[in-house]
């Protein structure tokens, strides 16, 4: 069951917030679309990184950019132990980061739960007149790849994905390897050349593992958090281009 909360249209962008019940969990989300009355367009999902949330700066900027440039719908939900899933009101910083590290290491169900949450979100948003839930893109770096790659591998409605700032490493490395090998959609993969959290050699192994040959690796200098603006823009353009092509093939 979904509960729609705020619904605000400003500067030609409509922003809705919602809570979606998935089993015992309540999944907090944001949906950005063109103003009311637009035709059904492709849907882009954004999975934020650890220590962030669905409403952090780069997520909102990316979402609004996609709506403005391409008229597509964009949805972000909070990840586990992040954002409005927390009862303590902490929205960012080291505490959610640390807690996610612990959950990732100790709770093997966390990945499946996030995949389930995203799939329920696609199901729910597909009911809206302005969302084409059969033509979906995924965008997520770092924790957004740790939890998003399994979604991309599992979900045939996802036609293209931006992943990165992550490698074959961490507690779920074997699952990530297997999921990477089963990915068949186009992948735009971002690497930070001097990434201190996930060294580039591990990122190269993940890029190598992707089952699709329609993949591109884009590396920028700098540490984990130093993704340049141009890389956000180019990765969004990749999704817009690929989902636009898919829409064109269907119509």
> Given the rule CB under 8 A, which residues bind a second copy?
191, 193, 200, 204, 207-208, 213, 215-222, 230-231
> Considering beta carbons, is residue 77 or 203 the nearer one to a second copy?
203
Give, for 175, the enclosing helix (H) or strand (E): helix 173-182
> Considering beta carbons, is residue 5 or 230 the nearer one to a second copy?
230
> Considering beta carbons, is residue 127 or 248 the nearer one to a second copy?
248
Backbone phi and psi for residue 217, each to the nearest 5 degrees, phi listed first: -110, 130
> Considering beta carbons, is residue 76 or 141 the nearer one to a second copy?
141
Tokens of 203: 């990122």
CB of 70 to a second copy, least distance (A): 18
Q: Which residues contact 103 (CB under 8 A, 6 or more apart)?
A: 80, 81, 110
CB of 220 to a second copy, least distance (A): 6
Q: How far is CA 113 from CA 45, 107, 230, in A?
A: 16, 10, 32
Q: What is the DSSP letter of 56?
A: S
CB of 209 to a second copy, least distance (A): 12
Pair type for strands 73-77 and 41-47: parallel
CB of 51 to a second copy, least distance (A): 25
> Considering beta carbons, is residue 23 or 228 the nearer one to a second copy?
228
Give the Cα separation of 218 and 237 in Å (integer): 13
CB of 38 to a second copy, least distance (A): 29
């Amino acid at each position: 069951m979904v509960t729609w909360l705020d619904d605000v249209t400003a500067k030609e962008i409509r922003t809705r917030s919602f809570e979606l019940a998935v089993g015992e969990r309540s999944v907090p989300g944001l949906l950005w679309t063109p103003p009311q009355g637009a035709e059904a367009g492709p849907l882009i999902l954004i999975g934020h990184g650890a220590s962030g949330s669905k409403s952090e700066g780069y997520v909102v900027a990316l979402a609004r950019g996609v709506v403005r440039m391409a008229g597509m719908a964009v949805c972000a939900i909070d990840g586990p132990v992040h954002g409005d899933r927390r009862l303590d009101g902490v929205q960012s910083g080291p505490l959610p980061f640390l807690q996610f590290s612990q959950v990732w290491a100790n709770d093997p169900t966390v990945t499946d739960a996030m995949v389930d949450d995203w799939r329920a979100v696609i199901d729910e948003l597909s009911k809206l007149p302005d969302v084409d839930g059969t033509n979906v893109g995924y965008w997520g770096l770092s924790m957004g790849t740790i939890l998003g790659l399994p979604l991309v591998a599992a979900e045939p409605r996802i036609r293209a994905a931006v992943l990165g700032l992550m490698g074959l490493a961490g507690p779920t490395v074997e699952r990530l390897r297997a999921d990477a090998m089963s990915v068949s959609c186009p992948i735009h993969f971002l690497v930070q050349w001097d990434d201190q959290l996930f060294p580039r050699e591990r990122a190269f192994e993940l890029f190598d593992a992707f089952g699709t040959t329609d993949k591109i690796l884009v590396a920028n200098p700098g540490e984990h958090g130093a993704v340049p603006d141009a890389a956000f823009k180019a990765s969004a353009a990749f999704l817009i281009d690929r989902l636009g092509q898919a829409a064109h093939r269907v119509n």
